[in-house]
Structure 1
Amino acid sequence: MSGATPVEAWFGDGFARLHPSLQSLHREGGRLEGRVSFRVGRGLAGTIGRRVLRRLGIDPASPEQRLVVDIRHVDGVLRWARRFGDGQEAVSWFRPVGRWPDGHWEERAGPLKLRLMVDTDGGGWRWRQIGCRLWRLPLPAWLAPAVDAGKRIEDGHYRFDVAIRLPLLGEILAWGGHLRMAC
């Protein structure tokens, strides 16, 4: 696919399985805005979840925040820059490996690198984690954080959800909401 974005090239013919609004977003890039709701776990998991929120500049006592996501294609990778409320920008870089449906993406955010396969259903996209590295060291499943995330178009809005779990502790943090394309 000459001139294709990383997402178009990775999906190939499977790109048509995505909702037209997701196709447009991943063809042209864009900016999403809206309010998201947060949920933290209980006990030690909740303590860790609140610490993560503070690190993102989010007051854990506030269950909702404004979210702005800037999505761009840069040198063959996908760049997602997220800003919750007035907090700092959190950037993830997604590098495609192979091709859909057997290939995967590598998400890098700071010292953490996740290997993620993609499942499509009803025009949406769900990440399925297949590996995790911290500072280049592979983490075994019994030690690694597990991320469950997906996106779809619902009632004309971009609907997403993310949950992070730690072995033995359970869910530490989850967030999600409906976003709209910003001008």
Structure 2
Amino acid sequence: MHKNILHKHLGESFKNLPPLLQQAHSGDIHLHGSVVVKRGNLLANLIANIIKMPPANSNCNLDVYGSHNEDVMKWQRHFENHVMESTFRLQGDYLTESLGPINLLLKLSIINNKLIYNVEQSSIFGITIPKPFQPKLTAFEMEYNGLYRFHVSINLPIIGLLIGYNGDLHIT
């Protein structure tokens, strides 16, 4: 099997991912389905708009186009008419995610057949955010009844929910 950056980051534990998740993180992929997008209060909504997060939508069509290579992984998410793109690269023992002005230093793990994303450090516009002020990310992927199930929730200190989105997607 060709070792892309996610495989390199997870090492031999990549083989412990459910087959559907291995497929979702190999080569060029397309995921599609319906998801729920939630946003927080007025201030959170303003921040989400500034950093170009998708709008709230209780029944949003989502198409995800992924490309997984040896040195880079790209995911382009189409929340109906809103596009959000992430670029992932290896940085030592970590995976970095660049999402517009935001950079996350991630450590991924597999727990109970779920791929869990843990943020070790974050920055915005190149400025490292001190730990007490860092956003709290809850993110996982799993296989559920033959579908790719995911959940992402970002909470800010004091403000609360910035954005959350989750759903079940088909791999084509």
Under a length normalisation based on structure 1, what TM-score does the superposition of the two structures give? 0.83
Matches within 5 A, 1:74-93: 74=69, 76-87=71-82, 89-93=83-87
- Aligned residue number for residue 130 of structure 2: 140
- Aligned residue number for residue 105 of structure 2: 115
Q: Identify the range of structure 1 (3-12 vs 159-168) with the bigger mean alpha-carbon deviation.
A: 3-12
Match of 2:127, as an amino acid?
L
Cα deviation 1:70-119 (Å, max 9, x = unaligned): 110256111010010122x2110111233xxxx22110011110111112
Aligned counterpart for 1:125 among listed residues 91, 101, 115 = 115
RMSD: 2.0
- Name the CA distance, whole Å, in 2 between partners of 1:76 and 1:161: 25
Structure with bigger gyration radius = 1
- Name the CA distance, whole Å, in 1 between partners of 2:49 and 2:68: 27
- Name the CA distance, whole Å, in 1 between partners of 2:68 and 2:109: 21
Give secondary structure in 1 for the equivalent of 2:25.
helix
> How many residues end up aligned between the 2 structures?
170
Say if 1:56 and 1:136 are closer, same or farther in 2 by CA, change over 3 A.
closer
Matches within 5 A, 1:1-183: 3-41=2-40, 46-51=41-46, 52=48, 55-56=52-53, 58=55, 60=56, 62-74=57-69, 76-87=71-82, 89-98=83-92, 103-182=93-172
Between Structure 1 and Structure 2, the one with more strand by share is: 2
Say if 1:49 and 1:69 are closer, same or farther in 2 by CA, change over 3 A.
farther
Say if 1:148 and 1:34 are closer, same or farther in 2 by CA, change over 3 A.
same
Cα deviation for residue 11 of structure 1 reads 2.0
- Contact 1:56–1:84 (CA under 8 A) maintained in structure 2: no
Q: Give unmatched runs, 5+ long, in structure 1.
A: none
Q: Give unmatched runs, 5+ long, in structure 2.
A: none
Cα deviation for residue 20 of structure 1 reads 0.9
Cα deviation for residue 49 of structure 1 reads 4.1
